[in-house]
Structure 1
């Protein structure tokens, strides 16, 4: 009759159990957990930038910016060329032609402005700082004073652009701009925000600083962007729809400075009714990294960024900011979800899909908001993940602290029979020891102490117990040190296996080395007993049998008592191999299946035998690490020749045996070679 199925634990039950474990962790652990949870909330809120504008850590803030750049790039609108803004630019060719690199030729600019003034532009913005004198200044000043088209003239000062201007330059700049009182030329700030190495957001509005270049131009043209009056959010960059078509038309300034009068009407068609930005598009001059630079590698001129700001205002693409209280609420929810998940104490197989979904959510929610025209600059997506992990880890540690003593006791108890890593795995996954069995390929070890039963009749029971416990302690430690599972003790015999309940890639190597080490431990025990009491009968040698094959592994028994063990022919074969050592005059003997699966190269072939109780013969291999390689090869050839040319095989084995006169197993092999059947097999009696 099958037992009734156990009812599953409800979600509430899991949470109640987890909370009980947390409470039982103790006051110190609870206090530490609360402190860590508070820290996790702050990390989930401020992983990008701290309230004072500083980076919390370069690692998280760089990751946040990389994610922002990625979602901003793919959420950007694909547009054709924007004909509302035209760039009139100095290029490297312009500088070569003028034979003058810095400062930019103001005579060229003056002639250009005179020609532009009659072409019907809405407004002109000049992204060039006039911060040092030049021969053409009077000519340029006169032109700017007489302009009918409104002109916004670049302005910067030490307080906002300390990397671009020094005190003397600012003095000259202000003197230069003072020439345009009561004219249509006025100063405009060209300051851009390159915080964290790229221009991603509009510059902060600073009192007493002239309006931003784009704002000034729209106001002068009678199209003030009132919706952007206090805007300091992200620049909503766009992407060109066609690779070969830039977002803004760019005309070389030479076309206007030296234009033929007959050409001017055609140029006027390109200028009329548009915003004109004049500046440099030069390889090493005023280049600005943007939100897209980390993805495309392109570093546009600063004038192009001002053009994007103008286009954003004209399109009224005002990205909605995320309120500060929402960011705090999201941080708290992230940490709270981590704490609740930790209280559930789910196994890894159930937790993994949830974590994958969580990571996708942390990345997907900001991306979705970005596509919905929400300003996600400063949204801590990576911070959510880091905060979640920290909170989950803290609560998990607290929940498990109360059970640490019990688990250590259980691991210690199981560790007397199986390796501690396997014991811990069983504690974490008790279903590994569920009642029943399964077929597994395992490495089996069977050992026995020669003559111990006979000796036990000749000494006191107390001494028998003392010697047996010492012997089994030595052998058990060998098995556990090599990662094996102790199946059982049968008197002085030890049965162990590798490959269950957890299989590891090096189980064969572990089992082989354990078999050899058990024989060495037996020899150590013999010497130890002889030194302890000369009156004790001599201890026999330890014999070991090793086999690799299929067995049924599991817990067998009933409701009151079960035993985790292995059943099958593999166990019997290992026992037969152990017993065969006596007739073979050897100490450790393995089947060919075991030797091949162990991947070690220390095995020497020892012929083929018919074991008692087995229908199929077994090819024998003995572990002798120090045995010469050439002699191994000779023995291998002899074993191959045994079935077809017995005489040649015997001669080869005799040659090897002669080189190792003290090797009783080799002498025994010669004897067996002479007595084997026509198939090359020796039948053990």
Structure 2
């Protein structure tokens, strides 16, 4: 199998792995997103969306409510008229107030009370005489006369007295209980059509105004119910019914409305409702009697909850469940978004992407209310974040680990920059390349031939590997790239494939450090005669992949490379360890002691080339013949000045 085929298989396998991780992330995001539907924390988010909606759509003139409340409150119980009346003996009062409300034009009346006792059945404990017989007759007559308009409550644990049930009729007694969500907050009502036959008090009152509600809905309140629902104290109703002016006001309050009677006393029949975060309606805009209304508490009176569930259906303030499959589509789309972000984007930006996904999901739920649907607000954010997390874990734990392994493995043979580019693009580079300005170096081990003649093969390999390892570390340290090993020589390049800001200085600095390693290399290898020779040349080269479909090599080629090899022959003739062309020498800082050592035409070239070295002792392989074994330090070297 060819190297090309093996690398191709690596990339094909990685693509399959990417697809597998993407599928896993999308599936996980979708499933986790759907499990967020009706999660215990999702209700809190829903109520906050209601809060935001209420603030954004706040109106100075709220629309009229189709439902009103008459409350048995502390003001009524403390009044002169009712302070001496036990609550179990208030049926005549409720009959009087209920009839006044019906006469004022109410279309339906509901009592959120379970009239479990009858005063008629009370007997004197001493004589056994039923002294209160007939006490409930006004209330029972009121119920009988208004069958179909007046409804009393029952619960799963409490039922009205048999006389009350008989007077109201089988259809006049309905369940007044509400069902909270799994977080204990009431938000939803599920009608049981046909409404006039439903066992629920809410449905009976909806039927009294000929509502056609049939689907389960969530009420969308706009203000705290205790501040916004039209409200009269029971005492106010009794007082208004006694005067013509009061009856006129009562008609304004009750005409065309469903009216609910119930307790608004603290800690009596209270529920957590989705209005608990909503703004209060100013007193100047609320319909309230002279006695005012009870203080707002954290929990909401049950009669308010019943009133709002009815009023929401009658005024269109409802949100239905989305059509089947909608949440699944949303979960898949957001999971795809999250998976793509986790796979394609850096880890550092993923928190920002998560915030964007969460905001988009919540915004979708917010906008859905305008179309009458409550899109579970947790589905989209959880799907997006879950898909992103799973994809990011897969990328970091699997893909990037494989990528790092690939770079580490092939980095011994190719430039890490080249491998990194191949790993990211997942394809082999195109044959050919680009023209770049580089510095090419040939670093030759001097005396290799003689050494190989007298040493065993394995010892020769050890010496070469030791030398190349030390030299290679210096080249890499200074930003160079080892293009290839040519027998006992190294060909290195600066400014390809990576970019080096000052390639000439980097190459020369690396050469000086390599020469300084010479004593250490000799000591490690035990070859005291070993020496080094370095030739540098700069100019344009072709950088890229050279070869064919079955075998290729990343390299540099061109006249600049050939000239560098020719300069090495000048270094050999002049007995210097470093020889550079004039372009390299001219780009060095002024404090580098550049000295010309040769001028002329190199073999194969038609123009003169000027070769330089650094005039420092370490760069000379033999003592200067003109000055003897020790260079004459009394005379300054003849340095060449280049225009900067």
Name the TM tier (shorter chain). Answer: 0.5 to 0.7
* 1:188 equivalent among 161, 174, 191: 174
Q: What's the counterpart of residue 542 of structure 2?
A: 557
Ranges in structure 1 where 5+ consecutive residues have no aligned partner: 1-16, 50-54, 158-169, 504-510, 541-552, 585-609, 618-685
**Pair 67,384 (structure 1): closer, same or farther in 2 beyond 3 Å:** farther
Rounded Cα–Cα distance in structure 2 between residues aligned with 1:417 and 1:379: 49
Q: What's the counterpart of residue 508 of structure 1?
A: none
Rounded Cα–Cα distance in structure 2 between residues aligned with 1:457 and 1:237: 94
Rounded Cα–Cα distance in structure 2 between residues aligned with 1:368 and 1:554: 63
**Pair 46,329 (structure 1): closer, same or farther in 2 beyond 3 Å:** same
Shift of 1:468: 1.1
User: Partner of 1:195: helix, strand, or coil?
Assistant: coil
Contact 1:73–1:292 at 8 Å: present in 2 too?
Answer: no
Q: What's the counterpart of residue 124 of structure 1?
A: 109
**Is the aligned partner of 1:48 residue 2:37?**
yes
Contact 1:115–1:257 at 8 Å: present in 2 too?
Answer: yes
Shift of 1:156: 1.9
**Pair 519,35 (structure 1): closer, same or farther in 2 beyond 3 Å:** closer
**Pair 182,326 (structure 1): closer, same or farther in 2 beyond 3 Å:** same
Shift of 1:186: 3.1
Shift of 1:48: 0.9
**Is the aligned partner of 1:232 residue 2:219?**
no
Report Cα offsets for 1:96-131 as digits up to 9, x if no partner. 779x99x99455675354234234233222234567
Contact 1:81–1:247 at 8 Å: present in 2 too?
Answer: no
**Pair 179,575 (structure 1): closer, same or farther in 2 beyond 3 Å:** farther
**Pair 468,217 (structure 1): closer, same or farther in 2 beyond 3 Å:** same
Rounded Cα–Cα distance in structure 2 between residues aligned with 1:529 and 1:46: 70
* 1:201 equivalent among 177, 188, 211: 188
Contact 1:145–1:183 at 8 Å: present in 2 too?
Answer: yes
**Pair 528,410 (structure 1): closer, same or farther in 2 beyond 3 Å:** closer
* 1:253 equivalent among 219, 226, 234: 234
After TM superposition, the score normalised by the length of structure 2 is: 0.53
Rounded Cα–Cα distance in structure 2 between residues aligned with 1:364 and 1:502: 48
Contact 1:91–1:281 at 8 Å: present in 2 too?
Answer: yes
Q: What's the counterpart of residue 262 of structure 2?
A: 279
Rounded Cα–Cα distance in structure 2 between residues aligned with 1:295 and 1:366: 18
Matches within 5 A, 1:341-360: none
**Pair 572,191 (structure 1): closer, same or farther in 2 beyond 3 Å:** farther
Report Cα offsets for 1:453-478 as digits up to 9, x if no partner. 7898996693752441242355468x
**Pair 455,39 (structure 1): closer, same or farther in 2 beyond 3 Å:** closer
Contact 1:88–1:277 at 8 Å: present in 2 too?
Answer: yes
After TM superposition, the score normalised by the length of structure 1 is: 0.51
Contact 2:219–2:313 at 8 Å: present in 1 too?
Answer: no
**Pair 376,355 (structure 1): closer, same or farther in 2 beyond 3 Å:** closer
Contact 2:29–2:384 at 8 Å: present in 1 too?
Answer: no
User: Partner of 1:145: helix, strand, or coil?
Assistant: helix
Contact 1:106–1:140 at 8 Å: present in 2 too?
Answer: no
Q: What's the counterpart of residue 465 of structure 1?
A: 464
Q: What's the counterpart of residue 549 of structure 2?
A: none
* 2:588 equivalent among 545, 563, 572: 572
**Is the aligned partner of 1:372 residue 2:371?**
yes
Rounded Cα–Cα distance in structure 2 between residues aligned with 1:411 and 1:151: 84
Contact 1:201–1:232 at 8 Å: present in 2 too?
Answer: yes
Shift of 1:181: 0.9
**Pair 358,86 (structure 1): closer, same or farther in 2 beyond 3 Å:** closer
Shift of 1:251: 1.9
User: Partner of 1:182: helix, strand, or coil?
Assistant: helix
Rounded Cα–Cα distance in structure 2 between residues aligned with 1:181 and 1:357: 61
Bigger CA drift: 369-378 or 191-200? 369-378
Matches within 5 A, 1:526-537: 530=523, 536-537=527-528
**Is the aligned partner of 1:154 residue 2:138?**
no
Q: What's the counterpart of residue 305 of structure 1?
A: 305
Ranges in structure 2 where 5+ consecutive residues have no aligned partner: 1-7, 123-131, 281-297, 532-537, 547-554, 562-582, 595-612, 619-636
Q: What's the counterpart of residue 269 of structure 1?
A: 251
Contact 2:65–2:229 at 8 Å: present in 1 too?
Answer: yes
